[in-house]
Structure 1
């Protein structure tokens, strides 16, 4: 037993030595692997540089050494190209009015509420008119007597009894009272505030029991007819847009599209945002309401003989914009001059004829003079 304990330190020392030797071997192998990786990267970069130089010097070498890249193609188009200005507009009403009191008195009733839709003639508020009603009652009694006296005087005058002055006085008194009564009734009608047309109550500015005077604002009222769209257009489009130009309108909230025309173009530039106002005619549409958001597409450019390509296929380098075309199974870099871009297509002003076959899928993997293999879809 004692002999066994004597050898234990020696066994432990041997195990530690083996462990250290194993760790040193792993670290050495890791270092060797990193060294080889570095050398491999350097060799790969040198190969790429030599290949690039040979491709420039010898096109046949490029054909022989570049493997074919699988691609799909797209066709350059030649035909009508249209460009539109897209802006956000708001539906407004020409019947946006402030309704004010036309007579003095205390508010007795306010059935109208903000946001309420009302029909033409519907009561919005009532003003105390008791004094006017008393005056009307008194005047009606007086008018009854004056009418009776005039009728008697008229019968006598027709029988040539009495003087013409008596007849004219009775007639004048009766007609004067009738005019006064009509005025009082008009004044009485003003105590009931009614909607001038069908629309929506934006704000209510009076309260029950409040005393109002003629001219005091009571309601802000917006009609549902005579609607139009107003939008702010950048000053860079001054002279491009004119009254009568076609406009495509989309209402995102109701997913509705219509085509209409520009009805007015502002003559003043807003100095705060460098824009001018454009009004667009809006036909009667029950679903469209004031303050609804709309998106306007106004055409500002067209070319009936334009060459267009998908915008995403156009690449750029330090020489300019270019696109890859396929010629006899070889990808060729063609430098182009861009025009306007709209709806994922770009007009090409120079560099293409419109009948080229373009590299579509795989256009980022190819290079100039690369062999390509067109996939059959």
Structure 2
């Protein structure tokens, strides 16, 4: 019984102690909540008071403005180049249509599409039977005319016969000689040959087909004299000139080369307001006519230019400006922007190249803002 009373007493002591701890914890939480409310009200009062003072004293406002975290960069002082970028197409000055020069049926076709041939190689033959018969007939007539002329010439040298007889024999012989030469020329044209080294792009006739003079037979492309032709906007008239440096890239074969503008058109197309530019193309493997190319024509360069990222340049009613950093304070600096290429802007005036520019955070700062530079 005595032990039971002891246990009961100890339990009452523990319960009393626990209740005391809970009451003390609750008081501390209430006190913390009260202090937070007071701090919030105090901060609001401080901010309102700072605003009122700043409106009366701007210098106080600038000094007490919160510092903004930024990163910085330096302008580049380097060589600057500007390019006009246009798309062009590879063409050949030797892209020709080979036509028949005599009448007749196609007797043989040796060329096939895509075939590479050398100058003078046979592409096709036209039936020349009628011409050959005429050649045989004229040769026999010429043989007789030559014999008659020789006899008449001997008689004339002996002063026998008339001069008219001699001249008629001579004229007949010479006429037949010219006629024979003409027929042989026609006979040679029944053989269609490659005019220069190149590739047969397309065959336009079939075996046994009847052709006339001027009938297209082959589309033929030479291996040399390739060039790139592009249309350039008229706003570059007088800027893009003959001899300008050009960088050509071929997206399909991942190839790049440098060359020069070989010719500039003198007429503006009224439909798209462009003019033609022709660029010389040296012989390089895998480049074919009608291949797409990208031309970068250099129209401007400055050997000592101040260059900054174009995205840092802002504008207002007075013009372009950037923010610089001086003694941890941002400064608004008006500039004169030159040409822009690939997000790099040339600065003509307003910066010397030694300044520190606000980079990240440039849209959050203003003139005379306190800043903290973060590396």
1:61 equivalent in structure 2: 64
Deviation, structure 1 residue 344: 2.7
Distance in 1 of aligned mates of 2:176 and 2:257: 58
Equivalence for 1:271: 270
1:213 Cα deviation from its structure 2 partner: 1.4
Q: Specify the alignment match of 2:220 in structure 1.
A: 221
Query: Take 2:145 and 2:285, find their aligned partners in 1: how far apart are those partners?
Result: 54
SS of match in other structure, 2:102: coil
CA contact (8 A) 2:110 2:122 kept: yes
Secondary structure class of the residue paired with 2:105 = strand
Q: CA offsets, 1:115-159, max 9 Å, x none?
A: 443322232222111111223344445556767x489969989x9
- Contact map agreement 1:331 1:372 (CA 8 A) in 2: no
CA distance in 1, matches of 2:52, 2:288: 64
Q: CA deviation at 1:227?
A: 1.9
Contact 2:200 2:219 in 1 (8 A): yes
In the alignment, is the contact (CA less than 8 A) between 2:153 and 2:166 conserved in 1? Answer: no
The verdict on how the C-alpha distance between 1:50 and 1:140 changes in structure 2, with shifts beyond 3 A counting, is farther
> What's the offset of the Cα at 1:330?
3.5
- For structure 1, which segment, 166-175 or 366-375, has the greater mean C-alpha deviation from structure 2 after superposition? 166-175
* Mapped pair 1:235 → 2:234: yes
Task: Tell me the SS of whatever aligns to 2:239.
Answer: coil
Partner residue, 1:261: 260
State the alpha-carbon separation in 1 of the partners of residues 257 and 113 from structure 2.
30
Q: Which residue number corresponds to residue 106 of structure 1? A: 105
Residue 250 of structure 2 is matched in structure 1 by 251
Structure 2 residue aligned with 1:3: none
Q: In the alignment, what sits opposite 1:195?
A: 194
Mapped contact 2:230–2:278 kept (Cα < 8 A):
yes
Q: Is the 8 A contact 1:260 1:282 kept in 2?
A: yes
Q: 1:178 to 1:286 in 2, by over 3 A?
A: farther
3-state DSSP class of the match of 1:312?
Answer: helix
Say which is worse superposed, 177-186 or 193-202, in terms of deviation: 177-186
Specify the alignment match of 2:337 in structure 1.
338
In the superposition, relative to structure 1, how do residues 47 and 318 fare at CA in structure 2: closer, same or farther (>3 Å)? Answer: farther
In structure 2, what is the Cα distance between the partners aligned to 1:274 and 1:350?
A: 33
- Write the distance in 2 (CA, Å) between the matches of 1:207 and 1:102: 16
Checking the alignment, whether the CA contact within 8 Å between 1:77 and 1:309 is kept in structure 2 is yes
User: 1:74 is matched with which residue?
Assistant: 73
1:165-195 Cα distance to aligned partner (Å, 9 max, x none): 8998887766555443332221111111111
Distance between the aligned counterparts of 2:49 and 2:289, measured in 1?
A: 66
C-alpha displacement at 1:373, in angstroms? 2.7
Answer whether contact 2:245 2:259 (CA < 8 A) is retained. yes
Counterpart-to-counterpart distance in 1, 2:179 and 2:149: 19
**TM-score for the superposition, normalised by structure 2:** 0.72
Whether the 8 Å contact between 1:123 and 1:194 is mirrored in structure 2 is yes
Query: Mean Cα displacement is larger for which, 364-373 or 337-346?
Result: 364-373
Unaligned runs of 5+ in 2: 1-39
Residue 119 of structure 2 corresponds to 120
Find the aligned partners of 2:203 and 2:107 in 1 and give their Cα distance.
15
Contact 1:115 1:200 in 2 (8 A): yes
Residue 358 (structure 2) aligns with:
359
> Quick one: structure 1 residues 223 and 359, their matched pair in 2 at CA, closer, same or farther if it must change by over 3 Å?
same
CA distance in 2, matches of 1:116, 1:332: 70
